[in-house]
Amino acid sequence: MGLPVVTIVGRPNVGKSSLLNCLAGRRISIVDATPGVTRDRVSTTIAVGEGETARYVELVDTGGMGVEDTDHLTDHVENQIAYAIHQATLVLFVVDAREGIVPLDNLVAEKLRHVDAPVLLVANKVDQAGVLAETGEFYALGFGDPAEISAAHNEGMTDLLERMQAMLTEAPLHTRRPEALKLAIVGKRNAGKSTLINALAGEDRVIVSETPGTTRDSVDVTVDIEGRRVTLIDTAGLRRNKSLANDVEFYSQHRAMRSVRRADVVAMVIDASVRVSKVDKNLAGIIAEEFKPVVIVVNKWDLARNIASPEDYAEYFAKEFPELSYAPISMTTAREGVNVHQTVQLATQLYAQASYRVQTSELNEAMEQILAKRGPSHKGGTRPPKLYYASQVATNPPTIVCFVNDVRSFDQSYQRFLVNQFREYLPYPEVPIRLILRPRRRAT
């Protein structure tokens, strides 16, 4: 049974994204004075209430109703809003208390009178003298007494949450935050990330357009795929920093990078019809630096299958992305749904690998075999290097500490050799391994 859906709607610039961020307790939606920044449905899971009476819901931010999109995506944005309202268990209708009722508010109100879900009117920006007394005019919209808040200053949230809880009493009760595999879908512009999301979700969950840069926010889409709950994180298409046009694009890039950090597994989408770019290489470096399990997703495979084989791509990527030499490759055509579910299965297997903890005895048995194959070389000016024993201290990523006599005696080449050998001897063949060298403490 899915979580109850609480959908935030309203005209542009009334503070919908600020409200989502405030209720979530962290920045999720991009907040900017530019109308129409939010295009897709941006969602997160929050708790409504406290203690044993708290219930979890999916909170959904939507684009501004009635906005004219600069990239001619108005119909797409309106479709996303309509779908979010259709799914809603509760609708939060946000208005601007400073500006009062404007014609677009009446337009939103008219649309909401025909929905099945209850509507809670929220008067935002009540944070200056005189505004409180003026919210009475919003009764004319026909949704009763507005909840008076200031999302920017975190005021009025307790009352708002109490009213939300009261209106959700008939909704299915979920008292635990559902765990889901977080899979970040990243790549450069127009690689097919949003198409892949929609193919996995089985619906037009995010806007797909030939216009580069359609996705601005990191959009979380939680779906059940063959019995596994997965949160797909659609991110803004990456581009070279010097090409960023405005603040919105800058924060979109930043949000995409943060999505990599909070993901359990990353799907790096490569356009099969074009050569690997500098943006792709930079992204591979970021993923490697974050020690994230990654699937290299070769999308638009239908355009390249008669030109090159999967083996050709494997050899090509080994040269272009040497830091991701361990990563598996998935050939997909997201537009037709080809191999998309198998890609998620692969990501699930990678997460299981990265979550496994080996026994210390197994690890040190592997260490003995590795040392028998090749020990560390002794270079002039350093102490003869010695490896005493190893211990796994963490998972996600698997983190192995090797206790040695002198850390300085182990060069980068031998450390890479150790990691590659651990990947061969231990159950981590396709995930990154973090290696830490520490001097063994002497007994005192």
Q: What is the pLDDT of residue 212?
A: 39
Query: Which H/E stretch holds residue 241?
Result: none
CA distance 325 to 431: 10
For the chain, the farthest-separated pair of C-alpha atoms sits apart, in whole angstroms, at: 85
Q: What is the CATH code for 360-439?
A: 3.30.300.20
Q: What is the pLDDT of residue 237?
A: 52
Q: What is the pLDDT of residue 28?
A: 72
Helix axes 157-167, 16-24, angle to 10 degrees: 90
Q: Which residues pair with 9 in a beta bridge?
A: 93
The reply to whether domains 181-354 and 360-439 share a CATH topology is no
The token duo for 55 is 């219930």
Q: How is domain 5-167 classified at the CATH fold level?
A: Rossmann fold (3.40.50)
Strand order in the sheet with 119-124: 42-48, 55-61, 5-9, 90-96, 119-124, 147-148
Contact 168, 89 (CB under 8 A): yes
What is the residue extent of each domain of the chain?
5-167, 181-354, 360-439
Strand order in the sheet with 434-439: 387-394, 399-404, 434-439
Q: What is the pLDDT of residue 169?
A: 81
Contact 4, 168 (CB under 8 A): yes
Q: What is the pLDDT of residue 251?
A: 44
Query: Which H/E stretch holds residue 378?
Result: none
Q: Which residues contact 327 (CB under 8 A, 6 or more apart)?
A: 268, 293, 294, 295, 296, 321, 430
N- to C-terminal Cα separation, the chain: 60
| Pairing of β 228-234 and β 265-271 | unpaired
pLDDT < 50 positions in the chain: 1, 31-39, 69-72, 206-217, 243-252, 444
In total, the chain counts a number of residues equal to 444
CA distance 264 to 282: 20
Q: What is the pLDDT of residue 247?
A: 43
Q: What is the DSSP letter of 319?
A: H
Q: What is the pLDDT of residue 24?
A: 86
CB burial readout 270-291, b (16+ within 10 A) else e? bbbeeebbebbeebbebbbebb
If DSSP states are collapsed to H, E and C, what string results for 183-194? EEEECECCCCHH
Q: What is the CATH code for 181-354?
A: 3.40.50.300
- Three-state DSSP at 179 gives coil
Q: What is the pLDDT of residue 439?
A: 86
Q: What is the pLDDT of residue 76?
A: 64
- Ranges of H-type helices in 73-185: 74-87, 103-112, 131-134, 157-167
Model's pTM, two decimal places?
0.64
Q: What is the pLDDT of residue 252?
A: 46
The token duo for 252 is 């979109």
